[in-house]
Homo-oligomer: A and B are copies of this chain.
Amino acid sequence: MIKVGLVGYGKAGKAVATVLAQDARYQLCWIARRKTTEQTHLDGYPMVPLVGLDRCDFDNWFDSHPVDAVVDFALPETVYQYADALIRHRSMLVSAVSAYNSEQQAFLRQLGEVCPVMSSPNITLGINFLLMAAKMLRDIAPFADVEVVEQHFREKPEVSGTARKIASSLGLEDEHITSLRMGGIVGHHEVIFGFPHQTVRLVHDAIRREAFGTGVAFALQELATCPAGCYSFDELMMKKIRHQLLAQEQT
């Protein structure tokens, strides 16, 4: 059983907690969150406030509440608060924080020299698979026409970051992204490959926010078998299929 500390308890963080709570392979041991309160527990978990907590405090908290992994859904700078504790305990880190600046990225790489670190702005398993599969088909059939279509709820303001990432990873101009805003669609992404005599569609439908939890669970499981190092979500997926790819080479 992997013991987990969850840093960040917004909507995504809460959804991750829900998923981990239902999975016997994980034990959610504590929550660290920004919002200050007098409570010591939240939804049944011991809770520590991030604000006003210096590294030393976090070290103490960590010592009294040791975990095998920290899952981070908080702000970029939060990593500085728990890094020392993480290193001392040789715990692993799964970070879904999206906007690390270059200094913070360098800091993560240093962390990766001591601990297994996985950092990915989108931690949904299905979306990451879509990205990987689309890149593969693009390599195999660069002559196919490719379009990215995303559909989301009416209020979502911008082109989905996921759609942008898919397009850029396929070398597509933004004009090949179609964004439709309609009703209450949670999140629909589709990559369409038009061949002269056949069509391939890779489709992802998000059902609810808990999908982040499935991705975190996957990352924890894989990272637990990895040596110290910095990993992307892609690389953890590749690990599961590489044996098969290499096996084929020797046939």
| Chain A residues packing against B (C-beta within 8 Å) | 19, 124-127, 129-130, 132-133, 135-137, 139-141, 144-147, 149, 151, 153-154, 178, 180-186, 192-211, 213-214, 218, 230, 234-235, 237-238, 240-242, 244-245, 248-249, 251
Residues of B contacting A154 in the complex (Cβ-Cβ under 8 angstroms): 145, 194
Q: How many copies does the complex hold?
A: 4
If the complex has contacts A147-B180, A207-B184, A207-B185, are A241 and B136 also in contact, measured as CB distance less than 8 A?
yes
Residue of B nearest to A176 (CB): B180
Besides A126-B198, A185-B199, 10 other A-B contacts (C-beta < 8 A):
A19-B196, A132-B136, A145-B182, A154-B194, A184-B208, A197-B213, A200-B203, A202-B202, A203-B203, A234-B248
A104 and B139 CA atoms in complex are apart in Å by 33
A145/B183 in contact, CB under 8 A = yes
Residues of B contacting A203 in the complex (Cβ-Cβ under 8 angstroms): 199-203
Residue of B nearest to A136 (CB): B241
The 4 tightest CB contacts between A and B, nearest first, are A182-B194, A183-B194, A197-B211, A145-B182
Residues of B contacting A141 in the complex (Cβ-Cβ under 8 angstroms): 125, 129, 218
